[in-house]
């Protein structure tokens, strides 16, 4: 028999990696801008166009890259993501959780649901662990150069991808399967077997959906930045997250212990279903 599916889904920026991914190389090193100046321009552009801030930042990245004569190929974006800093222990996290899940009779899959750049995440050393990387993505021409935005995932848009996972209709472009009627009992990845790890405002709608549907929303904070711990505490207080831990993915950390508890709860749920 196939093992029941279980899912760990993650935001990226502030969850698996400190800060915003564009700030670690592209904005300061290639555009030669201060982080604050870039994001201030994003805000002005989004407001002036009455547009989405995700589309605004993607537009500015391309516009300013062209002005600087920077390479815009798919390969160049992935190379930019190769050296993204990660929180301690992230690279060893996935195999450890997979082994634990297998011992419990679960088939654990990992997903990204992020407003960051898909191409940068695809270049990171942890990319092969993910079943799908749902993140804002560029559109590429026949020369494989970025020419515009293909996909923008904002804070409410993230919830769509939870339901894609829940129904296991994973293709971003497929609008028919995701909207087809499917009874909860027939969904391959029920919310009770989904955990979502996120850190900030863009994750609130996802955490709300997780909470309302019996999932496992976990607020992650950067122990080096007290304001992020305060934000996680607020998510708990507001009932949007059920658990919180610092971004330490090493074995034996608080977060690792939470993962053990979440997987055990998922396995208990599977056993309970057998006796219904």
Q: Please report, for the domain that includes residue 172, its CATH number.
A: 3.40.50.1000
Instruction: Give yes or no: residues 176 and 94 share one domain.
Output: yes
In our burial notation (b when 16+ CB lie closer than 10 A, e otherwise), range 153-192 reads bebebbbebbbbbbbebbebeeeeebeeebeeeebbbbbb
Domain encompassing residue 47: 22-81
Same-domain pairing of 33 and 96: no
- Asked if pLDDT for residue 54 goes beyond 70, the answer is yes
SS3 37: helix
pLDDT for residue 224? 87
- pLDDT surpassing 90 at residue 263: yes
Cβ neighbours of residue 56 under 8 Å, at least 6 residues apart?
Answer: 42, 43, 45, 46, 49
- What pTM value is reported for the model? 0.94
Question: 90 and 76, same structural domain?
Answer: no
Angle between helices 254-274 and 90-103 (to 10 degrees): 30
Among 81, 98, 129, which residue terminates a domain?
81
| pLDDT over 90 percentage in the chain | 77
Choose the final residue of a domain: 40, 57, 81: 81
Q: In DSSP terms, which residues pair with 195 in a beta bridge?
A: 8, 216
6 has pLDDT over 90: yes
Q: Are residues 108 and 141 in the same domain?
A: yes
The burial of 70, by beta-carbon neighbours within 10 Å (0-12 exposed, 13-18 middle, 19 or more buried), is given as middle
| Pair 60, 100 in one domain | no
Give the DSSP H/E element, type plus range, for residue 131: strand 130-140
Mean pLDDT, rounded, for 216-236: 89
Same domain, 103 and 64: no
- Percentage of the chain exceeding pLDDT 70: 99
| pLDDT for 76 beyond 70 | yes
Residue 117 and residue 71 in one domain: no
| 132 and 171 inside one domain | yes
Same domain, 90 and 175: yes
Angle (deg, nearest 10), helices 53-68 and 35-49: 120
Co-location of 151 and 253 in the same domain: yes
Confidence of residue 238 (pLDDT cuts 50, 70, 90): confident
Which of 10, 116, 9 is closest to 54 using CA atoms? 116
Does 60 share its domain with 106?
no
Classify strands 146-151 and 5-10 as parallel, antiparallel or unpaired: unpaired
């Amino acid at each position: 028999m196939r093992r029941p599916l279980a899912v760990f889904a993650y935001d990226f920026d502030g969850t698996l990696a400190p800060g915003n991914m564009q700030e670690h190389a592209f904005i300061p090193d290639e555009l030669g801008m201060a982080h604050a100046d870039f994001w201030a321009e994003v805000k002005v552009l989004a407001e002036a166009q009455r547009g989405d801030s995700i589309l605004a930042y993607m537009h500015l990245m391309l516009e300013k890259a062209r002005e600087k004569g920077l390479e815009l190929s798919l390969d160049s974006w992935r190379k930019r993501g190769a050296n993204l800093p990660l929180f301690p222990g992230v690279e060893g996290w996935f195999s450890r959780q997979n082994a634990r899940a297998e011992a419990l009779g679960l088939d654990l899959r990992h997903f990204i649901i992020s407003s960051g750049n898909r191409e940068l995440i695809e270049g990171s050393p942890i990319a092969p662990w993910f079943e799908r990387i749902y993140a804002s993505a560029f559109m590429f021409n026949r020369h494989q150069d970025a020419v515009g935005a293909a996909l923008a995932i904002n804070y409410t848009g993230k919830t769509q991808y939870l339901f894609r996972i829940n129904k296991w209709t994973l293709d971003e472009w497929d609008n028919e399967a995701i909207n087809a009627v499917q009874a909860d009992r027939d969904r391959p990845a029920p919310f009770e077997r989904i955990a979502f790890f996120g850190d900030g405002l863009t994750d609130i709608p996802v955490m709300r959906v997780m909470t309302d549907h019996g999932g496992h929303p976990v607020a992650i904070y950067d122990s080096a930045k007290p304001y992020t711990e305060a934000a996680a505490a607020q998510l708990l207080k507001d009932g949007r997250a059920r658990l919180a831990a610092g971004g330490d993915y090493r074995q034996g950390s608080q977060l690792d212990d939470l993962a053990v508890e979440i997987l055990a709860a998922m396995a208990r749920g599977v056993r309970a279903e057998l006796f219904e």
